[in-house]
Structure 1
């Protein structure tokens, strides 16, 4: 599992890439990806292209990111979801809280 983060050139968007299993073992690394940056992004993208597994801990981490980003006013997009990940997000009704692509 590896988590990396990249800011856009203007600092307005932060993209967090999650590779492998997204579970409790990723908790601190995921939080560090958005809490330990110098800019204050307006938009967040969580790229799940290379995510092979997602559990309830990961869902909780996504909710923490949403709260950090502004709660109901947050702009958080979950991108490049494979079929299994998309199914878990749908069962959890996350399409009502996040943009899912």
Structure 2
């Protein structure tokens, strides 16, 4: 279970790659990826996430609130069907652009 941030300073864009279960055990690593970077756009790549729990959903909401970005400005990409289903049921498609 890891979190990695790939930064493109010229484009002011950060891609956060998460691997494994997205839950409370990743809170510090995940927060470090976006902390003090309000001027950046973000993509969260979940291609290697097979499970997201309520703590993972909460971390996404905390990120959204911390960055103060408009709904849909943070992209969530490459979700597996079971993760996409949880995001949809939780109505995260209203706050995030899910691709």
Output the TM-score relative to the length of structure 1. 0.89
**Equivalent in the alignment of 1:53:** 51
Conserved? CA contact 1:67–1:74, under 8 Å: no
**Equivalent in the alignment of 1:89:** 87
**Equivalent in the alignment of 1:2:** 2
SS at match of 1:72: coil
Query: Where in structure 1 do 4 or more consecutive aligned residues deviate above 6 Å?
Result: none
Conserved? CA contact 1:89–1:95, under 8 Å: yes
1:79 aligns with 2:60: no
**Equivalent in the alignment of 1:13:** 13
The offset of 1:71, in angstroms, is 3.9
The offset of 1:72, in angstroms, is 3.0
Structure 1 unaligned spans of 5+: none
**Equivalent in the alignment of 2:35:** 35
Matched pairs, number? 99
Structure 2 unaligned spans of 5+: none
Conserved? CA contact 2:2–2:20, under 8 Å: yes
Q: Deviations over 1:17-61 (max 9, x none)?
A: 000010010111100111166x831x1100000001100000000
Which stretch shows the higher mean deviation, 76-85 or 28-37?
A: 28-37
- Could you tell me how far apart the structure 2 residues matched to 1:34 and 1:89 are? 20
